[in-house]
Amino acid sequence: MLTKEEQRISKTISYALRHKPEEFELLLDDEGYTDLAEFIEKMNRKAELGLTIELVHSLLERSDKTRWEITQQRIRAVYGHSIEKKVVKQAVTPPKYLYHGTAHRFVERILTDGLIPKERQYVHLSQDKETAIMVGERRDTSPIIFKVRALEASQSGVEFYQELEGIWLSQAIAPHYLIIEE
């Protein structure tokens, strides 16, 4: 389990490796790797994270939702559906609201069909708006954020599963439970 501050650092690392290598002046090789020592130096310069090699390894070992990997002094982002394999599939009660960040081009369909798992097994929802923005930024530089009436949906029989590092999984969510955040 990571502390809030560690989660923030971990997300910034993922964001840099996955979405904005140029913003952090990272040079990725063909396999998406960058030199670990250089990576740490650049991240500290650009984002003042106070990163050390020990901290990067420690975050990696203690994180439930691994977003990157290290091989021979190089680091790269890991894609995949890691969280869906790790979450215990036993329904739990979610908080009143959860969030979902996505691209504007999907809004119309979502308001008609609701949130559906698409290629995944479950819909991914974020515990807070900040996380939803990061997830949405993978698809849209200025993502749209839905506020999801999660507790109500769960009371009507939609199943939600244990949160891991700010992400909840759920079954499909009907449009009725979605509110567009201004």
Nearest distance, CB of residue 53 and ligand HQG, angstroms: 23
Whole-number Å distance between alpha carbons of 46 and 66: 23
Residues 6+ apart with CB under 8 A from 37: 53, 73
Mark residues 21-60: x for contact with ligand HQG by CB under 6 A, - for none.
----------------------------------------
Q: Could you tell me the smallest distance in angstroms from the CB atom of residue 64 to ligand HQG?
A: 11
User: Is the dihedral angle over the CA atoms 46, 50, 51, 57 positive or is it negative?
Assistant: negative
Which residues, in sequence order, are bridge partners of residue 76?
Answer: 69
In the complex, what is the shortest distance from the CB of residue 124 to ligand HQG, in angstroms, rounded to a whole number?
Answer: 4
What is the size of the binding site for ligand HQG (CB under 6 A)?
20
135 binds ligand HQG (CB under 6 A): yes
Are the beta carbons of 94 and 154 closer than 8 angstroms? yes
Question: What are 141's two structure tokens?
Answer: 């530089």
- Residues 53-92 vs ligand HQG: string with x where CB under 6 A? --------------x-----------xxxxx---------
